[in-house]
A and B are shown apart, each in its own frame.
Chain A
Amino acid sequence: MKTDHSTAYVRQEDAPLLPPPRNETGIIGWFNQNILSLINDFSGIGAAIRSVLMAVGTLAILYYSAHILWALIDFAIIEAVWSDPDELKRVVCTTEIAGGIQHNGWHGACWPLATAKMKFLIYGAYPAEELWRVNITGLVLIIGLVCLMFDRMPYRMHIGISMLTIFPVFAYIMLVGLGDWIGLPYVDTRDWGGVLVTLVVALTGIIASLPLGVVLALGRQSNMPAVRYLCTGFIEFWRGIPLITVLFMASVALPLFLPTGVTIDNLLRALIGVTLFASAYMAEVIRGGLQAIDKGQYEAADALGLGYWKSMRLIILPQALTYVIPGIVNTFIGLFKDTTLVAIIGLFDLLGAAQAAINDAGWSSPVQAITLYLLVATFYFICCFVMSRYSMRLERKLDRSNR
């Protein structure tokens, strides 16, 4: 039989795809979904009130954000003084009424101050002819960290372990020195400052607290009551008190605890305090990793006849430590920000150095403080933000591989 296609009442081809509704695509759709959806509902009194409030809120936030952003740009770029060719110092950043050269009502950043203080903000009073030592140490640190960030890096494991073990010794020798006979004269830690001290305190805190944290975390998980209580007590003690009291204690009371005649310098005191403090937090992070490991792993290690230390070293800790790397990075971020507190006990970390630069009468002007705060805040923000993004990426990666 011949089929007559021309009279078929069943549709033979797909209906053409209709374009999505106009108000859900393009700029209008985006606008509708992202801004209007909350403020165009007038179906009832409650909804109308909410919509109006939302609209007012949106406008207020827009207005104030734009205002603050503009004030910032105006202060930091447009009105800012960029150079001080005549070495006028404070005069270049003060208004005429206060004896300067800027027009009255001027309010802008004083970047020549930042340039002039840059060396102090980075190295403190580290002797100028020895700065190459700090630079080399920093370079090695940066190269090491960059190597560690690439997954495909050959010998990544070895690099990581040497960053944790050999690098601190290297950094100690480079920064403190061995004596004139080898060309590395001693540099008193009282001359250290700025970013140098910030990094020394934060990195020492994190590296030294790692082994201590592992031991404490294992101790807290132990089935021996005396070990467990001692470790728990230690951890909770340090977690319960503010870092600033720890630092005060380290700088005032620590000398009393040591045998008579033994003196240690201010930086080392702070380092001891920071390490003990950080180890308690580290222990809690690592404990999280230990608890996240499947029970089967512990049992499998037991079934293989491995003793406690062997099963920890070969089976549990490698997995637990990989799992908690994001947590360790987060602890490091916290510690990195907390190093600013050493400024309170009289060390010149970045913030302490900035504070000292602010009190320099040679540059005294109303914008002195805010210029340097802006600079320091930018430094901390970039460092912490990058690290937190890195730790989030790591977290996602580890999450996928566990699935």
Chain B
Amino acid sequence: MNSSDLSRLWNDARIRRIAIQVILVALVVFCFWWLISNTSQNLDKLNKSIGFDFLSQNAGFQIAPTLGTWLFSYEVGQSTYWDVYLIGIINTLLVAVLGIIAATVIGFLVGIMRLSNNIIFRSFATVYIELLRNIPLLLQLFFWYFTVLRSLPDKRGKVDLIPGAVSVNLEGLFLPFPIWHSGAGFAGIILLIAAISALYMRAKSRSKQLMTGHPLAIWRITAGIFAAACLMIVVSVGIPMEWSQPTFIETGPILKQGFDKATAIMIIPEMLAVWFALTLYTAAFIAENVRSGILAVSKGQTEAANALGLSTGQTLRLIVIPQAMRVIVPPLTSQYLNLTKNSSLAVAIAYPELVSIFAGTAMNQVGKEIEMFFMMMVVYLTFSLLTSAFMNWFNHRSKLVER
């Protein structure tokens, strides 16, 4: 083979394509091999091995009381590193879900306010968005944790948010929890039946509206159904639930003063700080998405709705929001994903979420960097895959609606 043969081969688009791809794949494989061989040499030198045996070892460190530790009844020296992993995931999800709910509500509110005719609403929304978007999240987190929450009274004092029920101090936020009595199951079933029949009436009202143009008086019917259900429960079993009374001990030995932890749910301040920071920060971004989504609905739609005699509320609910949603939802889901990923910043104030307890404390104890990073990546990549799967599904669905 001489050089002109070679150049002819190289000029053949098909062969060149295959050659480029083979070379690239070979390069990538080589890089991976190089990294892996380096890693195994380094691990040999450190007398470490690859393996997931450590997951069944007992974890020897304390984790602050959170939903995760409660669900898996975490105990130092009894629970394993696998438990720690799951607790981390649960706590990440907990703060992510709470953050998503709150950020959505605030974000929509601020986004709509940004478009209000009322200049006070409008300027408030503008200042909120610009301020929170342009300050790093970590700084906001520090602000909430190190200045706002640190200025609360210590465990022997409290600030009542709802006197007798919800209070907060340096130890955390104390909430009452529900205590179920016998008959609670029965009440649950009744309420479930009520909810199903209300949904059924709703569907029926819809189909009646489609057929005749007149809906049923759906709100009255729903209210009636639930009133009847409540009456039935009260008559047959009484009220099968009560709230615990958070007890605040002010006398006695000084170490025992403060809230009695058995009488209330305690939410640690780290969790509150992460929740506030994530919510307020993400809400600013959501507000911008909402605003651009609403602006994307052409003005003719609103005018047509007015011409048909729909009220402002109906126009918003039936015409503008369904169309705006198509523009809002894709960036909204990516904001949700961002919020979930940003919850990892909690490591800076030691809220026990995945990065903090697994890549932080646990990694320092067992030193299995590779395996632990791998397990952590799996969690975040799963979140991101689920998000993009949802986005594809939604885009597909809203495309069909468009026709």
Residues of A within 8 A of B (CB): 33-35, 37-39, 46, 54, 57-58, 61-62, 65, 224-227, 230, 236-237, 239-245, 248-249, 252-253, 255-260, 333, 337-338, 340-341, 343-344, 351, 355, 358, 366, 369-370, 373, 376-377, 380-381, 384-385, 388
In whole angstroms, how far apart are the Cα atoms of A333 and B137 in the complex? 13
B122 and chain A: residue at smallest CB distance: A34
A344 touches B348 (CB 8 A): yes
Q: Choose, from B17-25, B62-70, B258-266, B268-276, the stretch at the interface.
A: B17-25
Q: Choose, from B33-41, B83-91, B153-161, B297-305, the stretch at the interface.
A: B33-41
A107 and chain B: residue at smallest CB distance: B151
B369 touches A252 (CB 8 A): yes
Q: Choose, from B71-79, B213-221, B338-346, the stretch at the interface.
A: B338-346
Closest chain-B Cβ to A397's Cβ sits at a distance in Å of 19
Chain B residues contacting A366 (CB-CB under 8 Å) are 151
Chain A proximity mask over B113-157: 1 for CB below 8 Å, otherwise 0: 000111111001001001101111111001100110011000000
In whole angstroms, how far apart are the Cα atoms of A220 and B171 in the complex? 50
B355 touches A237 (CB 8 A): no
Chain B residues contacting A377 (CB-CB under 8 Å) are 135, 139, 143
**B28 partner, pick from A230, A243, A244, A384, beta carbons under 8 A:** A230
Given contacts A224-B17, A256-B42, contact A35 B119 (CB under 8 A): yes
Closest chain-B Cβ to A28's Cβ sits at a distance in Å of 14
Closest chain-B Cβ to A205's Cβ sits at a distance in Å of 15
Ordered by A's residue number, 10 sampled pairs between the chains whose C-beta atoms are within 8 Å are A38-B118, A230-B25, A236-B388, A241-B381, A258-B42, A259-B38, A344-B348, A351-B142, A376-B139, A388-B133
Chain B residues contacting A61 (CB-CB under 8 Å) are 120-121, 124
Q: With an 8 A cutoff between CB atoms, is B52 at the interface?
A: no
A242 touches B117 (CB 8 A): no
Chain A residues contacting B373 (CB-CB under 8 Å) are 245, 248-249, 252-253
- Chain B binding surface, main DSSP class: helix
A373 and chain B: residue at smallest CB distance: B143
Most chain A CB within 10 A, of B20, B39, B363, B373, is at: B373
A381 touches B35 (CB 8 A): no
A34 touches B124 (CB 8 A): no
Chain B residues contacting A255 (CB-CB under 8 Å) are 42
Closest chain-B Cβ to A167's Cβ sits at a distance in Å of 25
Given contacts A256-B370, A341-B138, contact A62 B42 (CB under 8 A): no
Given contacts A257-B39, A351-B139, A377-B139, contact A224 B345 (CB under 8 A): no
In whole angstroms, how far apart are the Cα atoms of A95 and B138 in the complex? 30
Given contacts A259-B38, A369-B147, A381-B131, contact A252 B118 (CB under 8 A): no
